[in-house]
């Protein structure tokens, strides 16, 4: 009895400790996120000149210079925060938060195709790491605080405290969740969201007005939609990878510096604007809202947004990746609905969360996000599509620093416990598996000659030799 009381006492003290610490982190992250979102709203207001994007090459140049000379760890769209959690127990340089804020504001204000969620997560993580250093916390506690900062940042910028908090935990591991951080992450996310809301931040909310009742036919359509959105997520990751390889090639092979490369990329984005439109610049919230309202967008809109985003993020721009992914998903949903004569709003909503689930490997957070954004009626369909998209994407991610904790198929051989960028999957043919059976059938069919007309299928029956193929000995025996 005494031992049990001692255990419960320690657990009670631990709960109180993390309730207090998570509340402090939520307050700090909520205030910083509010500041960032207010400045972002001002920088993208209607007061901007009509052709504001002409400054994009200079915006890309300024963003690249800030990150290169003041805070290299602020580079990218959130992967560095995941690296800090896995590789250095959450230690993040102090300058990451302010430099990330300024660089992202410049990028978005001049038209860079980025999101706002990643910077909020990096700002929250950076401030949490700074507080942990000031209080001289242990590495374990520092790591938990940083994860709370990530969750608080996502919750405050999403406007969805539950999905944001879960996303901050789920995004660290593919197929695993750190349950020891679940309580403080929820608390930090809730407090951060409440602080931002109280200070006047308004959030995107688009509850769907009509969702079909369940039927076998509609369920099948959702399944095929999940497969399609998984392929779109796969393509998104590969386009981002290609942009990164191209950027590295320009630097290593041709000796083009980071700043010149950023300026060239800005000019190229202007060319894309002339070829297509300015729809694909910035956050793209107008297009997302249009698709969720039932409006159709150009069939190639999702792919064009991939190009804009990959160029911006890989060539010096600063920002997040989630808002572009939601744009891509909703545009892909519009295309899918248009091809099969379905409701555009419903499949744009399902596409927005499903592509996020596949690209970021966060099916649980994406499913909850669907409930908080679009209402509970769409939740069962969104959840099915999110999980299918998550599996279809395979062992890859827009966050290459994620740690792989599961196989997405028993027939795929991968090394668990490694970062996604190090994964090299190979096919493993298991005995009596569907894959092995299919391979055997194909092998048997390929062995049969197309012109085989033999009357006997018994392999023990010898075919009569062709007279033209008789050997010399056979000819000598002939009468």
Q: Are residues 26 and 155 in the same domain?
A: yes
Q: Residue 184 falls within a domain, yes or no?
A: yes
Q: What is the pLDDT of residues 122-132, one digit of tens each?
A: 889 999 999 99
Task: Give the CA-trace dihedral at 190, 193, 196, 199, to 10 degrees.
Answer: -60
Q: Mind giving me the DSSP string for 437-468?
A: HHHHHHHHHHHS-TT---S---TTSPPPPPGG
Strand-pairing partners, residue 115, are 320
Neighbours of 16 (CB within 10 A): 10
Q: 457 falls in which pLDDT band (50, 70, 90)?
A: very low
Instruction: Classify the phi-psi angles of 431: left when phi > 0, otherwise alpha if psi is within -120 to 50, otherwise beta.
Output: beta
Q: Residue 205 falls within a domain, yes or no?
A: no
Q: Mind giving me the DSSP string for 345-392?
A: HHHHHHHHHHHHHHHHT-HHHHHHHHHHHH-GGGHHHHHHHHHHHHHH
Could you tell me which residue, 76 or 411, shows the higher pLDDT? 411
417-425: average pLDDT: 89
Provide the pLDDT for residue 63.
95
Last residue of a domain, one of 422, 445, 460: 422
- The contacts of residue 188 (CB under 8 Å, 6+ apart) are 22, 23, 25, 26, 29, 148, 149, 151, 152, 155, 165
Q: Are residues 371 and 285 in the same domain?
A: yes
Q: Residue 295 falls within a domain, yes or no?
A: yes
Q: Which domain holds residue 414?
A: 216-422
Provide the pLDDT for residue 476.
47
Strand-pairing partners, residue 164, are none
**HSE-up of residue 211 (Cα within 13 Å, Cβ side):** 22
Which of 2-16, 155-169, 317-331 is modeled with the greatest confidence? 317-331
Which of 255, 244, 374, 365 is CA-nearest to residue 312?
Answer: 244
Q: Are residues 96 and 241 in the same domain?
A: no
- Cα separation, 282 vs 269, in Å, equals 12
Q: Residue 472 falls within a domain, yes or no?
A: no
Q: What is the CATH number of the domain that holds 387?
A: 1.10.3080.10
Last residue of a domain, one of 172, 198, 224: 198
Q: Residue 70 falls within a domain, yes or no?
A: yes
Provide the pLDDT for residue 310.
96
Question: How many separate domains does the chain show?
Answer: 2
Q: Are residues 264 and 371 in the same domain?
A: yes
| Alpha helices for 199-300 (secondary structure H) | 216-252, 258-275, 285-292
- Pair of tokens at residue 79: 């992967």
* Token pair 């099916």 in the structure block, residue: 363
363-391: average pLDDT: 93
For 405, list phi and psi in degrees, rounded to 5: -120, 0
Residue 369 has pLDDT above 90, yes or no: yes
- Pair of tokens at residue 52: 């504001």
- The contacts of residue 280 (CB under 8 Å, 6+ apart) are 113, 272, 273, 301, 304, 305, 307, 308
Q: Are residues 183 and 272 in the same domain?
A: no
Q: Residue 449 falls within a domain, yes or no?
A: no
Provide the pLDDT for residue 4.
62
63-71: average pLDDT: 93
Q: Are residues 149 and 249 in the same domain?
A: no
Q: Is 393 helix (H, G, I), strand (E, B) or coil?
A: coil
- The contacts of residue 47 (CB under 8 Å, 6+ apart) are none
Q: Are residues 160 and 93 in the same domain?
A: yes
Instruction: Give the whole-number percent of the chain exceeding pLDDT 90.
Output: 61
- pTM for the structure as a whole: 0.88
Last residue of a domain, one of 372, 389, 422: 422
Strand-pairing partners, residue 427, are 412
Provide the pLDDT for residue 158.
86
Q: What is the pLDDT of residues 188-200, one digit of tens each?
A: 999 999 999 999 9
Write the CA distances from 84 to 122, 147, 293, 393, integer angstroms: 10, 10, 39, 25
Q: Residue 443 falls within a domain, yes or no?
A: no
Q: Is 188 helix (H, G, I), strand (E, B) or coil?
A: helix
- The contacts of residue 158 (CB under 8 Å, 6+ apart) are 117, 164, 167, 203, 369, 372
* Token pair 């509850």 in the structure block, residue: 207
Residue 81 has pLDDT above 90, yes or no: no
Neighbours of 13 (CB within 10 A): 10
């Amino acid at each position: 009895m005494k031992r049990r009381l001692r255990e419960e006492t320690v657990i009670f003290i631990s709960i109180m400790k993390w309730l207090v610490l998570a509340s402090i982190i939520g307050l700090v992250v909520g205030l910083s996120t509010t500041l960032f979102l207010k400045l972002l709203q001002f920088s993208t207001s209607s007061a901007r000149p009509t052709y504001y994007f002409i400054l994009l090459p200079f915006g890309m140049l300024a963003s690249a210079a800030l990150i290169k000379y003041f805070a290299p760890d602020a580079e990218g769209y959130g992967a560095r925060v995941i690296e800090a959690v896995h590789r250095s127990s959450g230690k993040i340089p102090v300058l990451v938060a302010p430099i990330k804020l300024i660089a992202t504001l410049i990028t978005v204000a001049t038209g860079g195709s980025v999101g706002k969620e990643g910077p909020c997560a990096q700002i929250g993580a950076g401030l949490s790491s700074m507080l942990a250093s000031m209080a001289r916390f242990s590495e374990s506690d520092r790591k938990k605080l940083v994860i709370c900062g990530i969750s608080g940042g996502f919750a405050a910028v999403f406007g969805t405290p539950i999905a944001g908090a879960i996303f901050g935990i789920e995004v660290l591991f593919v197929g695993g969740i750190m349950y020891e951080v679940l309580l403080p992450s929820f608390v930090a996310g809730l407090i951060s969201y409440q602080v931002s809301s109280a200070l006047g931040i308004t959030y995107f909310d688009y509850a769907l007005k009509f969702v079909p009742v369940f039927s076998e036919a509609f369920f099948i359509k959702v399944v095929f939609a999940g497969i399609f959105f998984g392929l779109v997520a796969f393509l998104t990751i590969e386009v981002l990878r290609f942009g990164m390889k191209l950027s590295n090639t320009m630097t290593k092979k041709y000796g083009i510096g980071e700043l010149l490369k950023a300026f060239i990329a800005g000019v190229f984005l202007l060319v894309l604007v002339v070829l297509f439109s300015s729809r694909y610049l910035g956050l793209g919230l107008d297009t997302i809202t249009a698709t969720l309202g039932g409006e159709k967008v150009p069939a190639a809109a999702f792919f064009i947004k991939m190009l804009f985003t990959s160029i911006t993020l890989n060539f010096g721009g600063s920002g997040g990746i989630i808002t572009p992914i939601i744009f891509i998903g909703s545009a892909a949903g519009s295309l899918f609905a248009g091809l099969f004569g379905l409701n555009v709003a419903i499949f744009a909503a399902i596409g927005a969360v499903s592509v996020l689930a596949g690209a970021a490997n966060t099916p649980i957070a994406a499913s909850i996000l669907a409930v908080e954004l679009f209402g509970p009626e769409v939740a069962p369909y969104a959840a099915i599509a999110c999980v299918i998209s998550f599996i279809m994407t395979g062992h890859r991610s827009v966050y290459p620093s994620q740690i792989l904790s599961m196989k997405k198929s028993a027939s795929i051989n991968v090394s668990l416990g490694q970062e996604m960028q190090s994964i090299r999957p190979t096919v493993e043919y298991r005995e009596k598996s569907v894959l092995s059976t299919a391979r055997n059938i194909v092998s048997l069919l390929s062995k049969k000659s197309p012109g085989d007309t033999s009357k006997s299928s018994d392999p023990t029956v010898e075919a009569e030799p062709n007279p033209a193929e008789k050997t010399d000995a056979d000819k000598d025996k002939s009468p």
